[in-house]
A and B are shown apart, each in its own frame.
Chain A
């Protein structure tokens, strides 16, 4: 998850740099993939005001602007369309250096564009590296800058410097896919207090909404809040910046609220245009066969009976937890809003997102699991923002939810210490630490511990153990010396078998052979070129390539292919050896109770350097006998108990060494495109 350090500081008074925070979070199990610095080096960009906007005489899509930067008025040619006279802009005058879209830096020069002089550039957020992409130039909010600001650095008015931490969150911790979640973790470790965001209460029951939930397993909680006479207002600049830095786009105040609350609290929510929904028949149910739904992304999907939908009497309105529907979506003209804050079954959401190949920030969180305990808080936060950014007349909610109580178990310090080692802190000190993560304790004779309301992965004492260890710090756990004990194998001891394979390879390498490692994937057509009888191959359902769709039944074809490639790369005497598994149903598996037959095979291949045509170099003995000598040396003292496999067809009929070795049949040599005998 992308975490804006600025946004994080809204939740916690963290004394330190973004790098310090990254260390604290990594120590708690949330490492990062890097920290990106943004918004630095903007001191050369000035506040300007567009005095006039005219069409460029030579180009339809360009405009001629006169921009007032206080001390002077500059002519600027601009390609954007989103500005008008009176707008405040971020102007990079001649000589200024800005980051540029690619972040490589660009310095402004006076330019003539289609015959018109331009003495600066109106920057977009992307050109200032404040957003990944931008439509048009950045119009500075007139609430922040005014006539007196003209010519001053933009950085005086917009606090733009920030660090973005790319945090890795493991799939068991969806609660940490939020600013509050990560702030809570850091606060617990550092002994700090979280700041409380503003909340706005709503009326407990709505006379407008009738809600039914088909299955409490599919949907363990659903809160519908009906909000009347909404004035949307506008998204404040600082919030837009945070949204963009956390990987979202600024769309409209209402949509921005759903995204912002999701980033803050980790719980996705959805807004419907209440006037487009039949509020009296609102329900959460599985889709019916044949139902269709037009989604927000302009795609219409055929629903599956395993998909969960929010519906009314007219049919499905949205794909629960994944994406809203187009028909009921909010727009600039939306007056009344129906807010949905719900909790859905992770497996259903995961299956739906996969089935329709729709992945969203919302489905990503739901499929990892959320709890239905604090739906009201999510709604209250959204209402507070609606009030701050705009206004509304009234809000009333209707809720259906399962009674879910966080699991509680017995506190067992002895068992905790038996697994993570002796702990120096007292029970009370440990409880105090865990309370900061919102664990709760009840002492009636024995102490019981309840998992925090937001945790989905709490099932046993070991989970508490991990939190204890995390808060103490893994580096500070009790050290122990290395101990040794003998173990007796209870499954078939295959060490001798593997050792023999290694020993044979070792011997071949002493004779100048190089060990190769091939993947087990194979193509039956290539194996067929060996001319030996092979049973049906084992097939992979979802191979990476069609030519890698089966498991190899022999190592030989891979060695032949590899030899050809090495010869192609200019090698003259190619000696290869490999030990590895083969998968052949006509053999005996070396593993007890393995699903299919697997056994270890050793194969080697020699493509000798052929005699030189000009007789500059020639082999004294026939290479066949040289190879025979090698085979005798490697296998002379080895006793095999396996029945020999038929290699009829692989070898030259007269030049064979036992059943398993010999000179390659000229037809096989040709089939594998080898230039000489092998």
Chain B
């Protein structure tokens, strides 16, 4: 029995030697056949087990199985090593020049104005203002008269207007000069629907003015907010804009209200934010004032309520509006308004921030 154990040990060491000297897959196969094949060394040893006692058979059987498993593992390992080697040799013979240029795939991008507009919409949604949309060709009545722009008043000069030819029977039409006619539509519809409150909307969109120079485009974008209920004050308006600008720029952004005039709000305010370039210290962009003018706002004018079917003694509210082009220039550092509408790919690609 000891002899058999000794034979197994010898077989194992001879197996290692032969495996070591094998240099090809074929030689590894030879090695496998001569030790683990049907006529191989291990099979021969196993065949001699039948002469042993049951205990001896058990002991030798376990030992030989152990060696057999080990050998199989060693063969597989060696086999895989060779396959890898051979594959590598084959890959290295590939004549590809990997330094040649890649196949061009363009970087797609959102337009900077749309990117900023969508961001603004989303922040205002968090403040509970529902995105609401109105047409760009509007009745002059909705764009001006119902917003307390008196006919023939100098305030109309503040917004040079495109007029449409061939207006429908209901009245003359214009390209809207601001997003505020959406206020009129919403107020009138809500009054007609029985006066349901609160009204909390935002109106993003394209607006038009007869103006075309380095700092004015005949079409641009605005976003506007309107809240109407029975109790909202200037303080609530300020809180909303404060939230908006801190979300839009950063936590340290401060806002300030200054008195101003818009026909459709009273009291009215011009909204400044602390300069986003110098944090309010004063620089070239804010003309050393530390503040940037970014929005107009105020309490909805009683005349607007009246013109849209509401009793100004019973409801109150606030509104604000701002220009997306200006916000985009401030946020993305775009130096020139005209770049937005030239739509050069070289410009559009560079604005992911």
Contact = CB atoms under 8 A, between A and B. Distances in A.
B191 to A, nearest CB: 9
B333 interface: no
B108 A574 contact: no
A481 B242 CA distance: 10
Given A420-B233, A515-B110, A581 B206 contact: yes
Contact of B168 (A475, A494, A595): A595
B104 A609 contact: yes
A163 to B, nearest CB: 15
In terms of DSSP, what is the predominant structure of the interface of chain A? loop
A651 interface: no
A514 interface: yes
Nearest to B128: A484
A486 B229 CA distance: 12
Given A519-B218, A519-B341, A541-B165, A551 B258 contact: no
B261 interface: yes
A555 B282 CA distance: 43
B128 A486 contact: yes
Interface stretch (A148-156, A296-304, A460-468): A460-468
A477 interface: yes
Nearest to B150: A347
Contact of A595 (B139, B153, B234): B139
Contacts of B170: 595
B82 interface: no
Nearest to A510: B108
A469 B259 contact: yes
B267 A420 contact: yes
Interface in B170-227: 170, 173, 175, 185-186, 189-190, 192-193, 196, 198-201, 206, 208, 210, 212, 217-219
B251 to A, nearest CB: 14
A347 B152 contact: yes
Interface in A458-510: 459-460, 462-463, 465-466, 469-470, 474-475, 477-491, 494-495, 498, 502, 505-506, 508-510
A21 to B, nearest CB: 15
A204 interface: no
A552 B346 CA distance: 26
Contact of B267 (A466, A489, A594): A466
Contacts, number: 265
B345 A465 contact: no
A419 B157 contact: no
A514 B196 CA distance: 42
B130 interface: yes
Nearest to B161: A542
A509 B110 contact: yes
Interface of B: 103-111, 113-114, 118, 127-139, 151-155, 157-158, 162-168, 170, 173, 175, 185-186, 189-190, 192-193, 196, 198-201, 206, 208, 210, 212, 217-219, 229, 231, 233-236, 238-240, 242-243, 256-261, 263, 266-270, 287, 299, 301-303, 316, 340-341, 343-346, 348-349
Given A509-B110, A520-B208, 8 more contacts: A29-B258, A484-B128, A487-B200, A498-B131, A515-B111, A538-B165, A566-B344, A594-B137
Interface of A: 26-29, 31, 34, 170-173, 346-347, 350-351, 367-368, 418-421, 459-460, 462-463, 465-466, 469-470, 474-475, 477-491, 494-495, 498, 502, 505-506, 508-521, 538-544, 548, 551, 562, 565-566, 569, 571-576, 580-581, 583, 589, 591, 593-596, 598, 609, 617
